[in-house]
A and B are shown apart, each in its own frame.
Chain A
C-alpha cells in the first residue's frame, strides 16, 4: 500500500478539499502556538479536515488499518505542543466541525461541535441569559474541542471551576473506531466517569466530535475593580488576604509593571503605568452580595497599600479592562521578538515568595520576565522575553523555566495549571509523579488506546514513550514504516 493510495482513500472519505498532503501546505501544521525552540517542528503525513462524526470515525479506522499515529487538533492555539504530530501520521483538524447544534436554556446546556470558537459560544448564549464559564485568554481563537482536550482554565475559573466542571457529556470517536456518547444532561451516569477521564487527556484517548457543555446563568450584577499597588509584593500579599478572608471573586488577576507597559502601549486601556502591579478583580452574583463583597475586597486592597481602588462604572469600561488583560500576551510584541510563556501553579499562600523568586531568576539569568496571571488560583504565567537570534538565549530561557518549575514543585505546586503537558512539559512530570503514579495513568491510556496510536509522545515522560513503542511492537500491530513515510518528513 502506498501513500497515493492512502491519500485517495482519505479523499474518498472527506473529499479532495479535506485532505492536505502537499509539503508546503502542511508547513503551517508543523507548529502550534508553543515556541518552536521548545516543541520543535513535526510534519504530519496528512492533514484531514472532516465535517462529520462519521468521517472522523472513518479516518480513524484508516489510520488504524495503516498503523499511522492520529493527532487531533483544533485551532492550534495550544502552548505545550499538544497538537503537533510528533510522529507524523494523520492530523485530524476539527475546525470544519463548527456548528452550535442545540442551545437548551431550561436544562442549561448546549451541544456544540468541537470546532466552535470559545468566544462565539458565549457570544451566542449571553444575549439569551447564559454563558460558557471557561474563558481562556485565547478565547477569540481557541476551540471548544481544544478546551476539552486541555481542560482549559481562564480568569473566571476562580469562581466557576475549570472546563471539566462544565462538560456534561461528550460524543467521542474512540481509538477502536467506535463512536460513543458519555455523560448527558442528568448527572451521575452510572459506571466509570468517562467524561471526566477524557477531559484534559490532550487527545490521547479519543477524538471528541460533539460536546455537551453546561451553560451558566448570567449573574444579576457584576462589578470590576482595578487596584494598582506600588510593588508586586504588596499586590501578591493582597491576593493572599482576599483568598483567606473568604470572599470569593469571580476573577482575580494580576499584571506586573512590564506587562502594564506592554498593554498600555498597545491598547491604552487606562492601566496606570507607574504601578508596580495591578489587580483586576471581578465580583458577580446577586446585587446585594456583589455590593458586600466589593466593599470587603476594596478594604483589603487599601490595607495592603493600594494606590487607589477604581471601579469600572460601565460595561464598556469593564470590557476595555478585560480586553487588555486577555490580549496581554499579544501585546508583548511591543517589548520583545520572542517570549516563552510558562505556566505553573503554587498554593495561593506561596504567591508572594514565588513572585520574588521570579524576580531573582530574572536578575540571575539576565532575562526580562513579565507576569500576567490568574493570581486567585495561584496560577503563574511568567513571560520570559528573549531574542531567538541572541547566542545562548534559548538555553538561558529554558534553564530559568526549569528552575521556576522546580521551585513551584518544592512549594507544593505543580508544573502546569492550565496549558497542559503536551510535548513541552512531559519530562517535568517526573518532578511530581513517581513511576507508579505514572503507571496508573498509563493504565487509563491503555484502556482507551491499547495500540497507543492516539497523539503519541505526549503527556508521558520520554522513558514512558519508549514503553509505548515496545507495547505496539509486542501487540504485533503495524507501525508506520512500511509506507515509506520516513521519506516524507
Chain B
C-alpha cells in the first residue's frame, strides 16, 4: 500500500467506505476542487500504478463490470456549478460535478432546458450522465445528450488536460472527441467540463396516457402516432409494474406520449394524439401541464443504474418495429422465472428497459436469457454477485478490437475504471 503515499497530500480526502463499487472499498477517496487538482491526482495514481474510479453522485455506479482492482475513488462533485452560460446563444458550459437538478434550476431561470431524462436528477451529475451515456425517451423529440454536446474538457490518465469541440453549435474543427467520451464510462479519461446546446423551455406541455389490454394493441396505437406527422417528444409503453411505478391508474399496458411546443399547438396536438390512440384503448386521457413533468420523471426511473441489492435493470436494443416482439419474449422469460417485473418500451427509439426483482438465482437466469435478446443487451445494474462470470455489456460488438486499441492508446496502464468497461477493458 506504500504507493498510496505518492498521491498529492493537499487534496481533500473523504471516507472510502462511502465509495464502494460492487462491494469493493477503495483505499483512498480524493475530492479535488479544480481541474488542476484532478490532473495532479490522476498523474500520481497513474505513475504509481493505482486503479482509479471517477465518481459523481453515484447514481450510475451500478453500471459496469466488477472492478479488476480499485485503489482510489475520485469524487468530482466539488467541480460544481455552471462555468459559462450565454443565454442568447442557447449554449452552456457546465463543470462535471453539477447535478442535473441544479442545472435544470439554473436553466429554468432563463426559460431554457436541457431536454434529457435522468432517473435521479438530484444526485446525478452531468459528468456522470455523459460518461454513462444512457438517454431516455425524449431522444425521440430532441435527440440524445450525445447530439447536444458541443465541447468537452477531460483529464487523460497521465494528467494531461485535453479539450475537444468548443462553444459554438456547429463545429468540425478536429476530431469529434465529445462522442468518443460520451458513454465511455470514464474508461478513457475523466470528464471535467462539458459544453452543450440547450433549447427554449417549452412554454406548454401535455401528456396523453392510454390504457390497453394487450401489448399488441398498445404498440399498434403507438406506431400509428410514430409514423404520422404528429410530433410527440417521447413515446413509451409500460407494463403493469412500470405503470404502478409511474403512479398511473392500474393497467395491463399503458401508452404515454409527451407533447412539448408553443401553447396553442401543444393543446391541439394532444387532442389529435388522443384521438389517434383512442381506437383499441380502454381509456385515453390528457395529462395537464403541471403533472406532466412529474409523470415523465417517474417514467425515467426505468433508466436507473444506481447500485441495487435486490433488483436487476437490463436495457435491450432492437429496431423500433421489432421492440414489441423482443419485449414480449422478455416478459415471457421473466414470467417463467417468477420475478416481479417492470417493462418500459421506448418505442420512439428502440430500447426496452426491464427491471426484475426476486431471488438472486432467478435474477441471474433472467440476465442470461435477456442478454441473448434483440440487437444488444446491457445489464444496467445488479447485485454484484450476479455480475461475476459475465460481461454486463453483453455480446461483443464487431468493432471490439478497435475499442481495445482505444483503451490501450488512451489508458495504457489501465488506470481508469480497471476492468469495468465492455469486454472487461
Listed in ascending order, the chain A residues whose CB lies under 8 Å from chain B are: 104-108, 150-151, 153, 157, 161-162, 164-165, 174, 176, 178, 180-182, 184-197, 199-201, 217-220, 240, 243-244, 246-248, 285-286, 288-289, 292-293, 345-349, 374, 377-379, 412-421, 425, 429, 432-434, 436-441, 443-448, 450, 459
- A286 touches which of B174, B175, B269, B321 (Cβ 8 Å): B269
A447 contacts which chain B residues (CB < 8 A)?
Answer: 402, 405-406, 408-410
B168 contacts which chain A residues (CB < 8 A)?
Answer: 345-347, 377-378, 412-414, 417
**In the assembly, what is the distance between CA of A413 and CA of B86, in Å?**
13
**In the assembly, what is the distance between CA of A433 and CA of B173, in Å?**
9
Q: Are A425 and B351 in contact (CB under 8 A)?
A: no
Q: Is B105 part of the contact surface with A, judged by Cβ < 8 Å?
A: no
A349 contacts which chain B residues (CB < 8 A)?
Answer: 86, 88-89
Closest B residue to A201 by beta carbon equals B175
- B173 touches which of A182, A217, A220, A421 (Cβ 8 Å): A421
Helix, strand, loop or mixed for chain A's interface? loop
Q: Are A191 and B200 in contact (CB under 8 A)?
A: no
- 7 A/B residue pairs, CB under 8 Å, sorted by A: A180-B399, A194-B402, A285-B265, A347-B91, A432-B166, A437-B162, A459-B175
B423 contacts which chain A residues (CB < 8 A)?
Answer: 191
Q: Are B175 and A193 in contact (CB under 8 A)?
A: no
Given contacts A151-B172, A164-B147, contact A189 B227 (CB under 8 A): no
Closest A residue to B180 by beta carbon equals A197
B173 contacts which chain A residues (CB < 8 A)?
Answer: 414-416, 421, 425, 429, 432-433
A450 contacts which chain B residues (CB < 8 A)?
Answer: 405
Task: In the A-B complex, list the 9 residue pairs whose CB atoms are closest, starting with the nearest.
Answer: A196-B179, A246-B200, A186-B317, A289-B265, A440-B162, A288-B265, A220-B229, A244-B88, A190-B393
**In the assembly, what is the distance between CA of A438 and CA of B259, in Å?**
42
Given contacts A164-B176, A186-B317, A193-B180, contact A443 B143 (CB under 8 A): no
Q: Is B160 part of the contact surface with A, judged by Cβ < 8 Å?
A: yes
Listed in ascending order, the chain B residues whose CB lies under 8 Å from chain A are: 86-91, 111-112, 133-135, 139, 143-144, 146-147, 154, 156, 160-164, 166-180, 182-184, 188-189, 199-201, 223, 227-231, 261-262, 264-265, 268-269, 315, 317-321, 349-351, 374-376, 378, 393-394, 397-403, 405-406, 408-410, 421-423
Q: Are B174 and A347 in contact (CB under 8 A)?
A: no
Q: Are B176 and A414 in contact (CB under 8 A)?
A: no
Closest B residue to A182 by beta carbon equals B399
Q: Are A443 and B375 in contact (CB under 8 A)?
A: no
Q: Are B269 and A288 in contact (CB under 8 A)?
A: yes
**In the assembly, what is the distance between CA of A345 and CA of B172, in Å?**
10
Given contacts A165-B147, A436-B160, contact A414 B319 (CB under 8 A): no
Q: Are A180 and B175 in contact (CB under 8 A)?
A: no
Given A441-B177, A443-B409, list of 17 further CB < 8 A pairs?
A164-B176, A182-B398, A187-B135, A189-B375, A191-B397, A192-B188, A192-B406, A193-B133, A194-B403, A195-B179, A196-B182, A220-B229, A417-B172, A420-B172, A432-B174, A433-B174, A441-B174
**In the assembly, what is the distance between CA of A444 and CA of B174, in Å?**
11
Given contacts A188-B317, A217-B229, A445-B175, contact A240 B265 (CB under 8 A): no
Q: Are A436 and B162 in contact (CB under 8 A)?
A: yes
Closest A residue to B148 by beta carbon equals A161
Q: Are B319 and A107 in contact (CB under 8 A)?
A: yes
CB distance from A284 to the nearest CB of B (A): 10
Q: Are A414 and B171 in contact (CB under 8 A)?
A: yes
A437 contacts which chain B residues (CB < 8 A)?
Answer: 162-164, 174
- B320 touches which of A107, A217, A378 (Cβ 8 Å): A107
CB distance from A401 to the nearest CB of B (A): 15
Q: Are A189 and B376 in contact (CB under 8 A)?
A: yes
Q: Are A186 and B88 in contact (CB under 8 A)?
A: no
Closest A residue to B230 by beta carbon equals A286
Closest B residue to A289 by beta carbon equals B265
Q: Are A188 and B134 in contact (CB under 8 A)?
A: yes
CB distance from B70 to the nearest CB of A (A): 22
B228 contacts which chain A residues (CB < 8 A)?
Answer: 217
**In the assembly, what is the distance between CA of A391 and CA of B195, in Å?**
45
Q: Are B180 and A243 in contact (CB under 8 A)?
A: no
Q: Are A288 and B268 in contact (CB under 8 A)?
A: yes
A432 contacts which chain B residues (CB < 8 A)?
Answer: 166, 173-174
**In the assembly, what is the distance between CA of A187 and CA of B323, in Å?**
12
CB distance from B14 to the nearest CB of A (A): 28
